[in-house]
């Protein structure tokens, strides 16, 4: 009798356990459906309930980690990815990368770099593109453009307690998306508890002084999301992102995917809103950005053909306002993770956000030059202070006035996005007592060479032990750090008035040979002009660009080299061509 009772008790416990397991499986399946529909927070709530009931599963830990990763809650994602790796299973390579990103975003950069190195030992070309694999595993501060290190960063006063992002400069206005400017009494919120986004404009009085926020006029804003505006050169057409609802008007779960729309400005208001024809109900199309001539529209999408969670695509815009078939921008830009928020500056540089390229954690902002054939140059992280360990994205810039805006979740406990301005706090003015050399003469130590050191054919740069004359990637503007080195050359030219120099500018082998030749000549000319503007007789200075024709190492086309090796080729020389001062 006792044995029979034990048998029935064991059977009952087994059946109960199977029922509980089945319930847990059903819960996971329901959460998976929500996750596939981008309802990450609702899916997460179910995953968490399953986890609290003692369900141990690598799949569950992946989904929990991913649900936090997708909503940029990196510290919470770390907890679940850590559980995943403690199981001792061998997860897919992308989880090493995501865990590394989340660790770095949580302030654990050294630990994150270890997982990043492990990731690079696992991946092959189907996971990552060759250009990224050429770089060092760890992003060092000296692998970034120096230009932005001289900018001042401020948070704008128009930021709200909710998310504010996607700033774009339009004439003297700042157009941006926000969920914090709805009228008193507004209660409609989406799944993360925030109100829906609308598009707003404000007046730019000065780069860090933006006031007078009000909604875009016309038929742009609805009860759901609008964001990410871009404008044609004539200011008469706007492209923007929007979503609506499907069947059940009152349910967040039935919100449609984001799509791109077009609007025309009529009598000062945005009217005739129409959906672009290449949108689909099944995929997301968002973050539109126009080329400077208005003939190409870039955007972010997860449509078929994407390499990862979202890629950057483009369409050609024809004269009759029809569009070409969408083209993926390719594996140089796009990775297995997220690439979004493209922006094309007026000097034809592509800026975009990615958490799949080599960064500091979370989304970082990257830049690449676009040549005359539409080809993308090398990808470079903008570095600090633009990028941080948190999400940094939606970059825009006025290249002539040298200021711009971006969004970031830095300095925000709730991980809400705010808009930041970057601008030159001390603009260099040539020819007066406030110029760079006058202001910094106490810290610049110029070694005036002896006459016997000045020999025809020698490189004055080496004699003076100049630091490399760095330029922002793809640029030929003289930045403050480059100016410091050039002031040393100018001082020597003033000391020896008969000295003549030939400036020789070189690039590395990346990008096309024709593009590199043109860029090097522009840099040589810009360097010469800086020296002439300081009062040196133009007849004493010649300048020539050599592109990639005179490499100093093995790093020619097709040869894998580190960033430091490529840097050795990106150099400027100051060859003495006349030493008659002797």
Q: Indicate if 436-578 has the same CATH topology as 156-424.
A: no
Q: What share of the chain has pLDDT > 70, as a percent? A: 80
Task: Classify 471 as helix, strand or coil.
Answer: coil
Predicted confidence (pLDDT) at residue 105 exceeds the cutoff of 90: no
Domain locations in the chain as residue ranges? 2-127, 156-424, 436-578
Predicted confidence (pLDDT) at residue 13 exceeds the cutoff of 60: no
pLDDT for 129 equals 45
Which range (101-115, 193-207, 330-344) has the least confidence?
Answer: 101-115
Per-residue pLDDT reduced to its tens digit, 515-537: 889 888 988 998 999 899 888 99
Q: What confidence tier does 443 reach under pLDDT thresholds 50, 70, 90?
A: very low
pLDDT for 232 equals 96
Q: Domain 156-424 is classified in which CATH homologous superfamily?
A: TolB, C-terminal domain (2.120.10.30)
Q: What integer best gives the mean pLDDT of the chain?
A: 82
Q: Are strands 572-578 and 296-301 parallel, antiparallel or unpaired?
A: unpaired
pLDDT for 138 equals 46
Q: How many CB atoms lie within 10 A of CB 88?
A: 7
Q: Both tokens of residue 128?
A: 């990552």
pLDDT for 149 equals 60
Predicted confidence (pLDDT) at residue 214 exceeds the cutoff of 50: yes
CATH of domain 436-578: 3.30.1330.60
CA distance 525 to 345: 22
CA distance 542 to 504: 9
pLDDT for 475 equals 64
pLDDT for 31 equals 85
Q: Are 298 and 311 in contact (CB under 8 A)?
A: no
Residue with tokens 């030159």: 424
Instruction: Flag whether the pTM goes above 0.85.
Output: no
- pLDDT mean over 554-559: 88
pLDDT for 124 equals 58
pLDDT for 198 equals 94
The residues, any chain, with a CB within 8 Å of residue 331's CB and separated by 6 or more, are 129, 307
DSSP 134-156: HS-SS--GGGS-SGGGGEEEEE-
Per-residue pLDDT reduced to its tens digit, 344-376: 999 899 999 998 888 888 899 999 888 888 888
CATH of 2-127, one of 3.30.70.360, 1.10.230.10, 1.25.40.10, 1.10.1060.10: 1.25.40.10
pLDDT for 424 equals 75
Which range (78-92, 102-116, 193-207, 418-432) has the least confidence?
Answer: 418-432
Predicted confidence (pLDDT) at residue 246 exceeds the cutoff of 70: no
Task: Classify 536 as helix, strand or coil.
Answer: coil
pLDDT for 23 equals 53
Q: Are strands 296-301 and 285-290 parallel, antiparallel or unpaired?
A: antiparallel
Beta strands in 385-478 (DSSP E): 392-398, 403-408, 418-424
Predicted confidence (pLDDT) at residue 171 exceeds the cutoff of 50: yes
Q: What share of the chain has pLDDT > 90, as a percent? A: 40
Per-residue pLDDT reduced to its tens digit, 470-482: 665 556 777 666 7
Q: What confidence tier does 55 reach under pLDDT thresholds 50, 70, 90?
A: confident
Q: Are strands 296-301 and 311-316 parallel, antiparallel or unpaired?
A: antiparallel
Q: Both tokens of residue 341?
A: 């928020």
User: Nearest to residue 95, comparing CAs of 358, 387, 337?
Assistant: 337
């Amino acid at each position: 009798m006792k044995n029979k009772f034990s048998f029935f008790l064991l059977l009952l416990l087994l059946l109960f356990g199977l029922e509980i397991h089945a319930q847990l499986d059903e819960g996971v399946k329901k959460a998976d459906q929500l996750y596939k529909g981008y309802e990450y927070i609702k899916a997460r709530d179910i995953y968490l309930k399953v986890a609290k009931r003692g369900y141990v599963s690598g799949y569950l830990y992946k989904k929990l980690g991913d649900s936090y990763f997708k909503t940029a809650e990196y510290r919470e994602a770390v907890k679940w990815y850590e559980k995943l790796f403690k199981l001792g299973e061998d997860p897919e390579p992308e989880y090493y990368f995501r865990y590394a990103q989340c660790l770095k975003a949580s302030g654990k950069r050294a630990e994150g770099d270890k997982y990043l190195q492990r990731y690079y030992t696992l991946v092959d070309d189907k996971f990552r593109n060759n250009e990224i694999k050429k770089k060092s595993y760890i992003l060092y501060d000296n692998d970034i453009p120096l230009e932005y290190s001289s900018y001042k960063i401020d948070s704008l006063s128009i930021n709200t307690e909710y998310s504010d992002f996607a700033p774009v400069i339009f004439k003297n206005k700042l157009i941006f998306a926000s969920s914090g400017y709805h009228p008193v009494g507004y209660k409609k919120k989406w799944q993360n508890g925030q109100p829906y986004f609308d598009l707003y404009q404000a007046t730019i009085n000065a780069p860090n002084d933006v006031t007078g926020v009000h909604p875009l006029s016309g038929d742009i804003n609805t009860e759901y999301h609008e964001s990410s505006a871009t404008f044609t050169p004539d200011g008469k057409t706007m492209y923007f992102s929007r979503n609506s609802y499907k069947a059940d008007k009152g349910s967040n779960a039935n919100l449609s995917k984001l799509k791109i729309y077009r609007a025309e400005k009529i009598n000062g208001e945005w009217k005739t809103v129409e959906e672009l024809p290449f949108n689909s109900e099944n995929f997301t199309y968002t973050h539109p950005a126009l080329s400077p001539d208005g003939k190409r529209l870039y955007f972010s999408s997860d449509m078929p053909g994407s390499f990862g969670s979202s890629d950057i695509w483009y369409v050609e815009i024809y004269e009759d306002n029809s569009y070409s078939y969408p083209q993926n921008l390719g594996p140089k830009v796009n990775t297995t993770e997220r690439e979004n928020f493209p922006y094309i500056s007026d000097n034809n540089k592509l800026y975009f956000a990615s958490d799949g390229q080599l960064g500091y954690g979370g989304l970082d902002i990257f830049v690449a030059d676009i040549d005359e054939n539409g080809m993308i140059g090398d990808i470079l992280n903008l570095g600090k202070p633009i990028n941080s360990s948190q999400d940094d994205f939606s970059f825009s810039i006025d290249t002539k006035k040298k200021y711009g805006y971006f969004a970031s979740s830095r300095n925000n406990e709730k991980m809400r996005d705010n808009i930041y301005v970057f601008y030159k706090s001390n603009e260099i003015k040539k020819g007066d007592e406030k110029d760079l050399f006058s202001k910094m003469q106490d810290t610049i130590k110029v070694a005036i060479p002896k006459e016997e050191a000045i020999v025809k054919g020698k490189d004055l740069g080496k004699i003076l032990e100049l630091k490399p004359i760095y330029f922002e990637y793809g640029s030929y503007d003289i930045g403050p750090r480059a100016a410091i080195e050039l002031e040393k050359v100018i001082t020597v030219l003033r000391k020896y008035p008969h000295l003549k120099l030939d400036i020789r500018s070189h690039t590395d082998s990346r990008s096309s040979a024709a593009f590199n030749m043109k860029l090097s000549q522009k840099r040589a000319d810009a360097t010469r002009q800086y020296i002439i503007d300081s009062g040196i007789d133009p007849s004493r200075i010649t300048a020539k660009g050599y592109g990639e024709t005179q490499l100093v190492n093995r790093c020619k086309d097709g040869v894998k080299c580190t960033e430091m090796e490529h840097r050795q080729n990106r150099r400027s020389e100051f060859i003495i061509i006349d030493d008659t001062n002797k």
